[in-house]
Structure 1
């Protein structure tokens, strides 16, 4: 690099960090690490300006699916997850998903004289991370080409474990490699949504103290989340967990019937920039019928169904051949909260499902900023848990609110 190029990279890096700080609080050590590590050096060949934009960058495409095989995460999400992790000087940290190597370099700055191990299942990705870490002075970071679900027992136990890939179930191997009192941060997928959840281990329990909506490429090797089309053109899809009995043929028949939607408004209004993803989260605390509905632009153009709140990802309750999903309707222009949340439903149980979804909406509306507590135990732990449990092959999950 020339001096001018280096100066420009530093200016762009500092501007990006300033933009992130304007949107959320970032701990001083995380800010310092992000101002120190050159993201552009981990994205060779990318235009400098793009390396310092708050967006994800694909580093390896996936010929077998719509999502990339590996990418550099959105920098503001990186900052969020590092804040959740709370890595300290001297910590021993495991990262699942090496990606470009950039996040591992940030972790190395945070733990100072501690140690960072990063693993990736893809040989090209692992080699890229190793090469870029060596080139930027982080030769002391351990890079392992391996299935991330196995962790890295040779360097365990860990004070902190962070996953930078979407995880549908928490493998027992990670439990065994995390110290009691240690923290695990991961983009956890359940009931069609993904949230970055910060968990602390207390014996045979992981207990959360924060969660944020996010999106990540799913980890290879976990197939408990299913996606199925509901029409012949594959323009309407439902995403669901393997433990949910979804009547795909019945739902498809309901949509083919082309009956108008039953619409039920809630009492809740939102502003144009006000998030309402908490409705989805609140529903998962007690309702096993929650899935994700995806509607493509082609389906919207053909008016096959009422427009969902967010076409690519809206919560939907599914039971038999009936479903009810979240909608947003504009009511007035001058009001501070000009949009009303509600439900659109189809099928023989449309009215029941619509009213159940409205109940979830109104429950969220009673405390819009409430963050639930998630408790996770190993699947073989027989200790008593809450009445509503989300069961996965290696873990049991409960989501509870105080009210």
Structure 2
């Protein structure tokens, strides 16, 4: 090895240990096996050409392929996301594991954890990605990992059943093949798109359905092939200035919104305040699963005329009802906390703003600081009466239910709207 190569290897090793130390300190790594794997596998060998500081940035992905429009279609996920999902999977030595969405590095981490008695298969629809993964895995010392080029909508049944399936692409649905490939009692970890939000969820196969828990905020390159799903964009007032994005149910008649912004803007403040560093993942998920007409709003900065005034023009939580739409805003309080409010437009804007505000207030009273919902996935033909919750998102293959904890009545009466962080 040349002096230059030796120096680079030494720097990579130091940065690798620093990244793991940071993730341990921040609580994203708690499992010894995950820590050992991340300290061992040379991540830089799976992202050649990237600067080492970029490769080992704990919270940043490394883009490895883009399409003709410059949109990322393949990446090495951020170390924090990989550690989080590996911990959700609860891998054990000897497990048979299928990874859906390849790149090589994550498969190497899995191989380190399951050991020689285990078995790892990684699959991707893109032959360029799988060729690269196969080459990188062999070069890094993991030639035993099986690399398959295929559309994984049906899983990879020829090598199953699997104790664990880990999906590393943003999935809109859970196709039957994934559950069929999973051993009874096995775990499926999948970044599932839920009305424009993505949550990594750990599902356990049991009694004809998938029982989920531990939803974690994440972001992934969308699934390609049979599992690809395009969101619906509704342009308010017929212009590209204001776009409402729907990932599941869409408005019955979007044209009713055309004149909404011609009405006066209604502003309502909820009294729900959060500390600047308080986590709000359950608020987002609560609104997405309980607020009818939920969507997200984006404003084109080049066309912005000030009709709406979101805090984040690229992404705001929003909702639609008939010819009305609303979105969430925030403001600083004298105590330097953040208070949530609602802006609404439309002929019943005042009533709709109050309804959206009540959902925020319900979260503040009943769900704030809690564990979040229990999430279950059932086949798409499951009748309502056999589902455990009325909060249901029906997709092509599955019905996803969200069972929020029942509020403690006594605590609800005494609980101030401003409370402890999650």
Alignment of 1:114-153 (within 5 A): 114-153=118-157
Per-residue Cα deviation, 1:161-196 (whole angstroms, up to 9, x for no partner): 111111111001111101111101111001111111
- Of 163, 173, 177, which residue of structure 2 is paired with 1:173? 177
Residue 214 (1) aligns with residue 214 (2): no
Residue 374 (1) aligns with residue 380 (2): no
- 2:170 is paired with a residue of what secondary structure? coil
| Separation (CA, whole Å) in 1 of partners of 2:186 and 2:40 | 26
Deviation at 1:20, TM superposition (A): 1.4
Bigger Cα displacement from structure 2, 349-358 vs 142-151 = 349-358
Gap regions ≥5 residues in structure 2:
407-422
C-alpha distance 231-87 of structure 1, shift in aligned 2 (>3 A): farther
Deviation at 1:59, TM superposition (A): 0.7
- Of 228, 232, 237, which residue of structure 2 is paired with 1:226? 232
| Separation (CA, whole Å) in 1 of partners of 2:152 and 2:405 | 35
Deviation at 1:205, TM superposition (A): 1.5
Residue number in structure 2 paired with 1:326: 328
Deviation at 1:246, TM superposition (A): 5.0
Residue number in structure 2 paired with 1:73: 77
Deviation at 1:356, TM superposition (A): 1.8
Deviation at 1:154, TM superposition (A): 0.7
| Separation (CA, whole Å) in 1 of partners of 2:303 and 2:351 | 25
Bigger Cα displacement from structure 2, 392-401 vs 228-237 = 228-237
Alignment of 1:3-402 (within 5 A): 3-26=6-29, 27-54=31-58, 55-63=60-68, 67-98=71-102, 100-112=103-115, 113-220=117-224, 221=226, 222-223=228-229, 225-230=231-236, 234-255=240-261, 257=262, 259-298=263-302, 302-308=305-311, 310-332=312-334, 335=335, 337=337, 339-366=338-365, 367-370=367-370, 371-382=372-383, 384-385=386-387, 386-402=389-405
Asked if the contact 2:234/2:243 (under 8 Å) is kept, the reply is yes
Deviation at 1:358, TM superposition (A): 1.1
Deviation at 1:128, TM superposition (A): 1.0
- 2:72 is paired with a residue of what secondary structure? coil
Gap regions ≥5 residues in structure 1:
none
Q: TM-score, normalised by structure 2?
A: 0.89
Root mean square deviation of aligned Cα: 1.8
Deviation at 1:126, TM superposition (A): 1.1
Asked if the contact 1:317/1:353 (under 8 Å) is kept, the reply is no
C-alpha distance 260-20 of structure 1, shift in aligned 2 (>3 A): farther
| Separation (CA, whole Å) in 2 of partners of 1:115 and 1:13 | 25
What is the number of equivalent residue pairs in this alignment? 394
| Separation (CA, whole Å) in 2 of partners of 1:298 and 1:273 | 31
Deviation at 1:264, TM superposition (A): 0.8
Bigger Cα displacement from structure 2, 155-164 vs 49-58 = 49-58
Bigger Cα displacement from structure 2, 30-39 vs 66-75 = 66-75
| Separation (CA, whole Å) in 2 of partners of 1:179 and 1:299 | 52
- 2:381 is paired with a residue of what secondary structure? coil
Q: TM-score, normalised by structure 1?
A: 0.93
Deviation at 1:16, TM superposition (A): 0.9
| Separation (CA, whole Å) in 1 of partners of 2:191 and 2:131 | 24
Deviation at 1:232, TM superposition (A): 5.7
- 1:21 is paired with a residue of what secondary structure? helix
| Separation (CA, whole Å) in 1 of partners of 2:43 and 2:202 | 25
4+ runs deviating over 6 angstroms = none
Deviation at 1:117, TM superposition (A): 0.7
Per-residue Cα deviation, 1:115-169 (whole angstroms, up to 9, x for no partner): 1111111111111111101111111101111112121011111111111111111
- 1:263 is paired with a residue of what secondary structure? strand
Asked if the contact 2:259/2:346 (under 8 Å) is kept, the reply is no
Asked if the contact 2:65/2:73 (under 8 Å) is kept, the reply is yes
Asked if the contact 1:244/1:288 (under 8 Å) is kept, the reply is no
Bigger Cα displacement from structure 2, 373-382 vs 152-161 = 373-382
C-alpha distance 122-230 of structure 1, shift in aligned 2 (>3 A): farther
Asked if the contact 1:188/1:194 (under 8 Å) is kept, the reply is yes
Per-residue Cα deviation, 1:210-247 (whole angstroms, up to 9, x for no partner): 01111111101332632343366634222213433253
Asked if the contact 2:99/2:122 (under 8 Å) is kept, the reply is yes
